[in-house]
Amino acid sequence: MRLSESKIKTKKRIEIEEESKGLAYLLRANFIEKLTSGVYNYLPFGLRVIRKIEKIVREEMERIGGQEILMAALHPKSLWEQTNRWEAFDALFKVQSRYGQWYGLGPTHEEVVTPLAKNFIFSYRDLPLYLYQIQTKFRDEPRPKGGLMRTKEFLMKDLYSFHTDEKDLDWYYEKVKKAYLKVYKRCGLKPIITEASGGTFSKFSHEFQVLTEKGEDTIFLCANCGFSRNKEIMEGKKCPVCGKKIESYSAAEVGNIFKLKDKYSRSLDLKYIDQNGEEKYVLMGCYGIGISRLLSVISEVLSDSKGLVFPEEIAPYHYIILPLYTGRRDTDKKITKFSEEIYQLLKDHQKEVVFDDRKNVSIGEKFNDVDLMGIFYRLVISEKTLSKKRIEVKKRNSPNLKYLSKNELINLKK
Amino acid sequence: MRLSESKIKTKKRIEIEEESKGLAYLLRANFIEKLTSGVYNYLPFGLRVIRKIEKIVREEMERIGGQEILMAALHPKSLWEQTNRWEAFDALFKVQSRYGQWYGLGPTHEEVVTPLAKNFIFSYRDLPLYLYQIQTKFRDEPRPKGGLMRTKEFLMKDLYSFHTDEKDLDWYYEKVKKAYLKVYKRCGLKPIITEASGGTFSKFSHEFQVLTEKGEDTIFLCANCGFSRNKEIMEGKKCPVCGKKIESYSAAEVGNIFKLKDKYSRSLDLKYIDQNGEEKYVLMGCYGIGISRLLSVISEVLSDSKGLVFPEEIAPYHYIILPLYTGRRDTDKKITKFSEEIYQLLKDHQKEVVFDDRKNVSIGEKFNDVDLMGIFYRLVISEKTLSKKRIEVKKRNSPNLKYLSKNELINLKK
C-alpha cells in the first residue's frame, strides 16, 4: 500500500490526557477513534491488527474442534426471563421495538446458544459439540475506562461446549486452557491463570490475567509455586498450595473460562438421550476472549517510549519502505527507482508492505510514524544503501541495523 | 471435515410454511436459525457462505480503493439530532443507558463516518477517500418478512466516498456500479440497475434489482432498450428513453447507491481546504450491499427442486465424499480405504472437502443432503468406481456424471 494513496495519517497532536500510553498510542496512530464514552470505531490500521488477532483465535479454536457460528445481538426478552437474568444482569442494555417487543442487546450468549444447540443435539452420539463465534457484545458498563479495556460495545470470541458428563467437560476445559495460552503466546503475552469466582454453579472459574499497572483487577500470585487467585475470592495472605507468603499485583483480564454445568441446560431445557435411552441435561462450559480488549492490553504491555510494538504475526504491516532523499535530483531518482523495485519485489512475494511515498511529510515524521504504528520491519533506502545495492533493515523491537541484499530480504526468517 | 465429528445435521422435518423455497432450504439445511421474528442466527455452513460472499465484496471494494474500517453500532443521539434524523428515521432502534445517555442502534452510518473522516481529510490532497465496513445493522422494520430479505438485524457492506467536486463523485459512482456488477456476477446473479428516488439531494439513486417473484419491489423494465426504473418513481407506461411500452416485474434489491453530495458534510461540518486556500464542503457518496440479503436472494434464485445451488466460489464446501457401501465386509473395507485416500488427497491440496462418514444415516439421506446444502462437487466411491480406480464426480448444477482418476480430480478446472 502506498501511504500517499491511502490518505491514512497519524495525529500530530498528542493525546496527553489518556489513561494509559497504549491507549494514547492507539489514538495518536489513528488505529481507533473514540465515538463517545465507551464506544470506539476501528480505523484501517487498527482493524488490520484486530483481524489478525481474530485469525489466531479462529485457528486455535478450530484446532480444538470449535465450529464457527454467528449469533444475533437482539435477544428476545423471553429467553432472558427463562434464565432469570432479564432483571438480574445489571449491564444488559434493553431496547423496545416501536411495535412493542423488548430485546436485550447480547452481553453474552448462553440464552441464545443453548436453544440453538437443539438443532444439533439429540442423543449422546451428538456430543461433545463445540460452537464459537466472534461477535459484537453490548454491556451498559457503569464507568467505561481504559480505552478498549472496558467498553459498552466490544468484540468478543465466545466458545460454548456441550458434554454428556463432568469428566468430559473437565477434560475439554483443560484443553481450552492450553489453546488459550497458545493464542496469547502468538499475541506476545504471557498471562497468569488465576482462580476466580465460579458463581453459584462451580467452585472456581479461571481468568487469564496479564500483569500491568493499568489493569483493573488485583490478583494474588505466589512467587514460590506460581499459584494465583483473584483478590475478590482470596482469603488470607498465604498461598493455599505451598503455604508461602503471597503477593498482590495489578492485572488485566484477557480471557475467562467457566464450567456452567447444567445451569443453562436446565433453565432452557437442553437435553440428550443417553446410552440407556434416558433423558439427561447436557453439561456446558463457556470460554471468552475479549478481542478488542486484547488489542488494548497488547498495546499497553508491549509498547515502548516511541509507540506500539507488535509481534510479527499481528503487526498491521510487516514491512515499510522509507526512501531517504538527498536533495540531489539524480541520486534521488535512483533512490525512488530502487524503493519502487523493493516495493514491487515484496508485493510479488505476497508480503504485507507499506511504501511511505508521502511528499509533504518530513523524514523525521516518517521515522516517528513507523515506530508509533508498530510496523515490524523498517526498510530504509538511502544513498549509502544504494551504493551497496543493499537495504537497511531494522526490526521494530530491536535497535540493530542490518544491511541486506534483495534476496536476503525476501528470505528473512521470522 | 468429517460430518461424523462435526455433528452438523440437516433437519428431517420439512418447514412447509415458509414464504419461499430459498428460505425453507436455508432453514432445513441448518444454514440459519430463526431466533425471533426478523432475527436470525448463522450456523456453521451458512456462515461459511456468508464469509465467502464477504470475501468477494472485500476484494472488489479493495480494487476500487476502498479501505476497511469497523464502526460502532451504538450511535450517540446528538449526531442523529445534528442530521435531523433522530425523529425522522422511523426504523431507528433507540436504547437508553441506565446512566441516562440515549443511543441509536446504527441502521446506516452517515452520522458516524462523516465525523470519522475528519481524522483523514484536511486539504484537497487528502481527497478522494473511500472507507467501507462490513458490519451488523439494526432496523426496527414494521413487518419482517422473507426470511433474511428484511430483518431487524442484518449484515451489510457500506462504502462511503469523499470527493472535492461533483465530477469526481460522478466518476467514482460509475466505478462502484461496475464493481457491484462484478460482486453479483461472482455470486451467480445478474441484477438490473434500476433508477430509484434520489431523496431530496439527488435526482436519482440506483438500485441493483434481481428479478424474482419473491421480491418485495416492483420495477419497470424496457425489453427494447434495457432501461429500468422503480415503480415508486415511475410515471407512465412508456420507456422514457426509447418510447416503447414498458413492463413491470417483481424484484429483490441486492444493493443501492446514492450521491449524498453535501447533505451530511453540511450538517456534520466536514470541510476541506481547496487549492486556493478556501474552505469547502466535502461531497459524499454512499453504497450499500446487504450481505445476508444476498445469501437470501441467491438461495431463492439459484436453488432448484432439490435444494440450494451455489457458484463454486461461494459454495459452503467444494467437495463431498460419499462412500457407497455394499454390505460385503471386504469390499466395504476397500471403499472406506479409497474414500479416506481421496479425503486426505483433497486436504493435502488445500481443497475444502467434507467426508460424509456418518454411520447412522442412510445413503438416500446422504444424497439428499448434498443437494440440499449445495456442495459443489459430489464424489461417490462405490464398488464400481473402485474397480476402475476412479471417482464418480457430479457437479451440483449439472446432471452429468464423470469418472475421474485421482490426478484428474485434483486438476479439475473451475
Nearest to B253, CA basis, from B198, B218, B286, B208: B208
Distance from CA of A113 to the nearest CA of B (A): 9
pLDDT value, residue A113: 98
pLDDT value, residue A203: 85
| pLDDT of A202 above 90 | no
> Residue B135 forms beta bridges with which residues?
B156
- Going by pLDDT thresholds of 50, 70 and 90, the confidence category of residue A146 is low
* Residue among A70, A94, A164 with most chain B CBs within 10 A, to mutate: A70
Inspect the interface and report whether the beta carbons of A36 and B360 lie closer than 8 Å.
no
Inspect the interface and report whether the beta carbons of B39 and A129 lie closer than 8 Å.
no
Distance from CA of B67 to the nearest CA of A (A): 6
Whether A39 has its CB under 8 Å from any CB of chain B: the answer is yes
- Chain-centroid distance of CA A38 in Å reads 17
Question: Rounded to whole angstroms, how far apart are CA atoms B186 and B201?
Answer: 32
Inspect the interface and report whether the beta carbons of A71 and B116 lie closer than 8 Å.
no
Whether B377 has its CB under 8 Å from any CB of chain A: the answer is no
Which helix (H) or strand (E) element contains residue B256?
A: strand B247-261
Whether A361 has its CB under 8 Å from any CB of chain B: the answer is no
Q: Which among B43, B72, B74 has the least Cβ separation from residue A69?
A: B43
Tell me which DSSP letter residue B282 carries: P
Distance from CA of A97 to the nearest CA of B (A): 6
Q: Name the percent of chain A lying above pLDDT 90.
A: 89
pLDDT value, residue A14: 58
Give chain B's residues under pLDDT 70.
Answer: 13-18, 144-146, 414
* Residue among B31, B37, B39 with most chain A CBs within 10 A, to mutate: B39
pLDDT value, residue A388: 92
Contacts of A1 (CB under 8 A, 6+ apart): A317, A353, A354, A355
pLDDT value, residue A7: 86
Question: Rounded to whole angstroms, how far apart are CA atoms A389 and B342?
Answer: 49
- Going by pLDDT thresholds of 50, 70 and 90, the confidence category of residue A9 is confident
Which helix (H) or strand (E) element contains residue B129?
A: strand B129-138
> Residue B163 forms beta bridges with which residues?
B283
Q: Residues A291-344: pLDDT tens digits?
A: 999 999 999 999 999 999 999 999 999 999 999 999 999 999 999 999 999 999
Q: Is the four-CA dihedral B4, B7, B12, B14 of positive or negative sign?
A: negative
Question: Rounded to whole angstroms, how far apart are CA atoms A136 and A294?
Answer: 14
Answer for the pair A272, A122: CB distance below 8 angstroms, yes or no.
yes
Q: Residues A337-363: pLDDT tens digits?
A: 999 999 999 999 999 999 999 988 999
Distance from CA of B29 to the nearest CA of A (A): 10
In angstroms, what CA-CA distances link A380 with A325, A344, A347, A370, A412? 10, 15, 17, 11, 16
Whether B123 has its CB under 8 Å from any CB of chain A: the answer is no
pLDDT value, residue B198: 85
Inspect the interface and report whether the beta carbons of B68 and A47 lie closer than 8 Å.
yes
Specify burial of residue A270 (Cβ count, 10 A radius: 0-12, 13-18, 19+).
buried
> Residue A386 forms beta bridges with which residues?
none
pLDDT value, residue A149: 84
- Average pLDDT in chain A: 94
Whether A142 has its CB under 8 Å from any CB of chain B: the answer is yes
Inspect the interface and report whether the beta carbons of A76 and B35 lie closer than 8 Å.
yes
Within 10 Å of residue B141's Cβ, how many Cβ atoms? 19
Inspect the interface and report whether the beta carbons of B140 and A99 lie closer than 8 Å.
yes
Inspect the interface and report whether the beta carbons of A35 and B72 lie closer than 8 Å.
yes
| pLDDT of A15 above 70 | no
Partners of B106 on chain A (C-beta within 8 Å) are none
Mean pLDDT, to the nearest integer, of A126-145? Answer: 93
Complete domains list, chain A, with CATH: 3-302 (3.30.930.10), 317-410 (3.40.50.800)
Which helix (H) or strand (E) element contains residue B395?
A: strand B391-395
- Going by pLDDT thresholds of 50, 70 and 90, the confidence category of residue A142 is confident
Distance from CA of A126 to the nearest CA of B (A): 6
- Give the CB-side neighbour count of residue A180, counting CA atoms within 13 A: 29
Inspect the interface and report whether the beta carbons of B39 and A70 lie closer than 8 Å.
no
Note the pTM of the prediction, 2 decimals.
0.96
Question: Rounded to whole angstroms, how far apart are CA atoms B179 and B115?
Answer: 26
Question: Rounded to whole angstroms, how far apart are CA atoms B316 and B309?
Answer: 10
More confident of the two residues A366 and A7: A366
Whether A360 has its CB under 8 Å from any CB of chain B: the answer is yes
- The 3-class SS string of chain A reads CEHHHHCCCCCCCCCCCCCCHHHHHHHHCCCEEEEECCEEEECHHHHHHHHHHHHHHHHHHHHCCCEECECCCEEEHHHHHHCCCCCCCCCCEEEECCCCCEEEECCCCHHHHHHHHHHCCCEHHHCCEEEEEEEEEECCCCCCECCCCECCEEEEEEEEEEECCHHHHHHHHHHHHHHHHHHHHHCCCCCEEEEEECCCCCCEEEEEEEECCCCCEEEEECCCCCCEEEHHHCCCCECCCCCCECEEEEEEEEEEEEEEECHHHHHCCCEEECCCCCEEECEEEEEEEEHHHHHHHHHHHHCECCECCCCHHHCCCCEEEEECCCCCHHHHHHHHHHHHHHHHHHHHCCCCEEECCCCCCCHHHHHHHHHHHCCCEEEEECHHHHHCCCEEEEECCCCCEEEECHHHHHCCCC
Whether B414 has its CB under 8 Å from any CB of chain A: the answer is no
Q: Which among A41, A69, A153 has the least Cβ separation from residue B42?
A: A69
Residue entry with cell 522509507: A322
Distance from CA of B105 to the nearest CA of A (A): 10
Answer for the pair A31, A384: CB distance below 8 angstroms, yes or no.
no
Whether B35 has its CB under 8 Å from any CB of chain A: the answer is yes
Question: Rounded to whole angstroms, how far apart are CA atoms A341 and A390?
Answer: 12
Question: Rounded to whole angstroms, how far apart are CA atoms A393 and A322?
Answer: 10
pLDDT value, residue B43: 97
Q: Which among A65, A95, A119 has the least Cβ separation from residue B43?
A: A119
Question: Rounded to whole angstroms, how far apart are CA atoms B34 and B18?
Answer: 12
Q: Is the four-CA dihedral B206, B212, B215, B221 of positive or negative sign?
A: positive
> Residue B123 forms beta bridges with which residues?
B273
pLDDT value, residue A6: 87
Whether B101 has its CB under 8 Å from any CB of chain A: the answer is yes
Whether A88 has its CB under 8 Å from any CB of chain B: the answer is no
Give me the helices (H) in B68-165, please.
Answer: 77-82, 110-116
Partners of B347 on chain A (C-beta within 8 Å) are none
Answer for the pair B256, B206: CB distance below 8 angstroms, yes or no.
yes
Mean pLDDT, to the nearest integer, of A109-116? Answer: 98
3-state SS class at B127:
coil
Q: Which among B5, B90, B112 has the least Cβ separation from residue A41?
A: B112
Residue entry with cell 453479483: B184
Question: Rounded to whole angstroms, how far apart are CA atoms A2 and A291?
Answer: 28
pLDDT value, residue A344: 97
Q: Residues A65-89: pLDDT tens digits?
A: 999 999 999 999 999 999 999 999 9
Question: Rounded to whole angstroms, how far apart are CA atoms B253 and B215?
Answer: 8
Chain A residue with CA closest to B71: the answer is A41
pLDDT value, residue B13: 64
Residues 318-357 of A with CB under 8 A from B: none
Q: Residues B198-212: pLDDT tens digits?
A: 877 788 999 999 999
Residues 196-255 of B with CB under 8 A from A: none
Residues 254-283 of B with CB under 8 A from A: none
Partners of A33 on chain B (C-beta within 8 Å) are 116, 119
> Residue B160 forms beta bridges with which residues?
B131, B286
Query: Number of A:B CB contacts under 8 A?
Result: 142
